Each structure stands twice: as C-alpha cells, then as structure tokens.
Amino acid sequence: MPYAQAKDGTQIFFKDWGSGQPIVFSHGWPLTADAWDPQMKWMADHGFRVVAHDRRGGGRSAQPWEGNDLDTYADDLAAVLEELDLHDVVLVGHSTGGGEVTRYIGRHGTGRVAKAVLVGAIPPLMLKTEANPEGLPIEVFDEIREGVAKDRSQFYKDLSGPFYGANRPDSTVTQGTRDQFWLWSMTVGIKGAYDCVKAFSETDTTEDLKKIDVPTLIVHGDDDQIVPIVAAGDKSSKLVKGAVYKVYEGAPHGLTMVPKFAERFNADLLEFVQS
C-alpha cells in the first residue's frame, strides 16, 4: 500500500486517484480517509487528481504513541504532499481535518497550495475561554475522553446521531451511514483517538487563519451539533481575508455524507475549484 514517511518515521497511508490538478482531503475525528470517498470520486470523475490520507493513529496508518497533536498532523500532511511532490494543490479539510489544513498553512505556507476549503472545521478554537466565550466548556471534551476510554464502541454508535443530525425529527439519515461511521471510528487506536480530543479542542489556530493568503471557501451547517458555528465558521470567515462563506441551513456536522447536503457541497466544491 502507498505510504508517506513522517518526520518521526511514522507511516502515513494515502489513496491517490485520477489525474489533473490535485485536491488533497483531510478527514475529521474519529474517522479515516474513506469518509471522503464520495467527494473524491466526484472530483476525480470531473478531471481532478484526488488524494486522502489516514491520520496517524488510525485506519491504515501506523499507531505511534506520540505525535497526536495538530502540529504533527500538519507535518504529516506536508509529508504526503512532499512524497507525491504535489503543487497547485486544493486543500480540503473537514472538522479536525480543517484544523490540520489551517495549521499546515500556518507552519508550511502556501507555496504548494492554490486554494483551501474548510468544512465544519474546528478553527479558530473550540474550547470556551474568557477570550472565546462562544466555545464549548472543557467538561464537554472530558466527557468525550471518558466515552473513548470506557466504551468507545458504544460511544461512537451514539455519537453518529448528532454527527449526522440523525437525532433530528426530520432526519433521513440511514442506519448504513451511522454504521460506517462506527466502522471507520473503530479502526482508530484508542491512544490516537483519546489524544486527538485535546488537539481538536484546545489548539488555537487564530494566527494560522490570518496567514491564509489563497482563495478560501468556508462551509458550515447551522445545525452543527459537534462544532458550533458561532465559535467556528462565523469567526473563521472573518479571520481569513477574502474568504467565501457559505452557511448550509439545517445541515449537521457530517454534511458531506448526508445526501441532500452532500449534493450541494459537491457542486459548491467543484464550482470553487474551477473558478
């Protein structure tokens, strides 16, 4: 299988399909690159090269004890881009993957990057602080850590509800969608999944957002029960100069996997990349 080697020797799995301008996808927690399959096929069918990697700690990538933090995630993304020698790249990140993309630009610049897309992304900061009152209290993330540590299988089954908005009365989310969420999540090692909670909740990417100097599309659902739009999309859209901000009414956190929202996102992504 294809791998890139991170700075510390960790093997990072990636899939690489199609040809044309490269679009590189970074997935959310606690999933794998497979969560992007529908968008990857869509974009490859429209003449683009698409790449997605499994974050360290899960899927087909190695599960090191150390390095489960946003800086290292960003450097792992850099290792993939360097392994494939990609240029003129469109970086697309969902949730924690959006933080990974943002921190990558903060640490590595935009020399290889043409555009960026942040979807339901964690920047600038999820944690509630005096300076960030719109965030979520630390107790929310402590509960997530407890769920992962004690019975992560049942925790993921339960989490799939609010993740996709399946707990809403008008939801059309299928059991199959929820089952694949559980399946992907269970391939992530407990250490990586546990440590990543701190990475996605407590890492402030405000200064990284300010460094983004390429065209950027920000998409967020206004019914996101995982990453509150007021602390994320609303703020990020003001910090990224010239960003295009699209709010999807009624969309959940995992909007890329819910058909009626995924169709809109796929069209928006294609239009943005082609513009």
Quick check: is 253 catalytic? yes
Give all domains of the chain, ordered by start, each with its CATH number: 3-274 (3.40.50.1820)
Nearest Cα residue to 214 out of 128, 67, 105, 122: 105
How many other C-beta atoms lie within 10 A of the C-beta of residue 207? 12
Q: What pLDDT score does 61 carry?
A: 98
pLDDT tier at 1 (50, 70, 90 boundaries)? Answer: confident
Q: What pLDDT score does 224 carry?
A: 98
pLDDT of residue 90 exceeding 90, the answer is yes
pLDDT of residue 37 exceeding 80, the answer is yes
Q: What pLDDT score does 250 carry?
A: 98
144-174: string of b/e by CB count within 10 Å (b at 16+)?
A: bbebbeeebeebbbebbbbbbbbeeeeeebe
pLDDT of residue 66 exceeding 80, the answer is yes
Q: What pLDDT score does 154 carry?
A: 98
pLDDT of residue 215 exceeding 90, the answer is yes
pLDDT of residue 244 exceeding 80, the answer is yes
Q: Bridge-partner residues for 92, per DSSP?
A: 25, 117
Which tens digit of pLDDT belongs to each residue from 165-183?
A: 999 999 999 999 999 999 9
- Determine which one of 75, 208, 224, 237 is catalytic: 224
Which tens digit of pLDDT belongs to each residue from 41-59?
A: 999 999 999 999 999 999 9
Nearest Cα residue to 105 out of 125, 92, 95, 268: 92
Quick check: is 37 catalytic? no
Q: How far apart, in whole angstroms, are the C-alpha atoms of residue 141 and residue 36?
A: 25
What is the share, in percent, of the chain residues with pLDDT greater than 70?
A: 100
pLDDT of residue 134 exceeding 80, the answer is yes
pLDDT tier at 149 (50, 70, 90 boundaries)? Answer: very high
Nearest Cα residue to 251 out of 173, 184, 181: 173
Nearest Cα residue to 57 out of 166, 147, 179, 188: 188
How many other C-beta atoms lie within 10 A of the C-beta of residue 129? 13
Q: Are 135 and 128 in contact (CB under 8 A)?
A: yes
Nearest Cα residue to 82 out of 182, 6, 181: 6
- Determine which one of 61, 95, 201, 236 is catalytic: 95
Q: How far apart, in whole angstroms, are the C-alpha atoms of residue 12 and residue 6?
A: 7
Quick check: is 95 catalytic? yes
pLDDT tier at 184 (50, 70, 90 boundaries)? Answer: very high
Instruction: Taking residues 254-269, report their average pLDDT.
Output: 97
Instruction: Taking residues 132-151, report their average pLDDT.
Output: 98
Average pLDDT, the chain: 98
Burial of 137 (0-12, 13-18, 19+ CB in 10 A): exposed
